[in-house]
Structures are given as structure tokens and as C-alpha cells.
Amino acid sequence: MLSIEFMSDTQNKIDPIQEKLDDKIKKLNSSRVYKKVTPRGDLSWYIKWASSIILILAMLFTSANMFPINLWIANIGFIGWLVVGMLWHDRSLIVLNSVSLAIYSLGILNHYYGN
């Protein structure tokens, strides 16, 4: 027969974390450990949210087949995120949005000057 044992209520409780992350980082005494926090309320915060809304708007225009206005609007969003990447020194954001800006700009040029 299978026996089931129940734990007492005191064993089910989880102890709260006593040591804070900042204290752990200080103990490591390293210049390579950082507490990553996205800036809030500064210039980059406003640019990133405005750019995100602009890119969503560009996606809506793409789904409605509103060409090439969708490319123009998306480029504004890419420029905003490129600025955020530069403010944050985030190479992945810089590369992604630079390449996106170049591709969409080529699409605009192709629309106006292509065959």
C-alpha cells in the first residue's frame, strides 16, 4: 500500500530573502557586476515608448496595405530605437535598427525610383 505523508505547516512556509541584490553585488566587490535596470522617466524612456507606438502604427498600416506610408512611419520608429540604442550603448539595438532602417529606406527608394 502507498503511504502519503503530509508536511506540517511550518515546513511549507518559504522564508523571505534576507539579503538584497545590492548587498550581494557590493560583497562581490567587482566592477563587472551591474544591476540592470531600464531607465524610467528619462529621455530614453519617452523615446522608446513613442517609437514602440509608432512601430505598432506602421504594422497596422502594413496590414491595411497602405504602402509606402507604412515604410515612412516605420523608419521614424527605427530612428527612435536607434537613438535609444545609442543612449544605452546597446550594440544589439543599434545593429538591429540600423539594418532595419537601411532595408526599409531601400524599399522606399525602390518604390519611387525602381522599375
pLDDT digit of tens for each residue in the chain (115 aa)?
Answer: 555 555 555 556 666 666 676 676 677 766 665 656 677 788 999 999 999 999 999 999 999 999 999 999 999 999 999 999 999 999 999 999 999 999 999 999 999 998 7
In a domain, 25, yes or no: no
In a domain, 15, yes or no: no
Q: How far is CA 40 from the centre of its chain?
A: 13
Chain position carrying cell 544591476: 35
Which grid cell is 75?
Answer: 523608419
In a domain, 19, yes or no: no
In a domain, 18, yes or no: no
- Of the candidates 23, 82, 88, the one whose C-alpha atom is nearest the C-alpha of residue 54 is 82
In a domain, 16, yes or no: no
Structural domain range at position 47 = 38-113
In a domain, 2, yes or no: no
DSSP state of 57: H
In a domain, 91, yes or no: yes
In a domain, 28, yes or no: no
Total domains in the chain come to 1
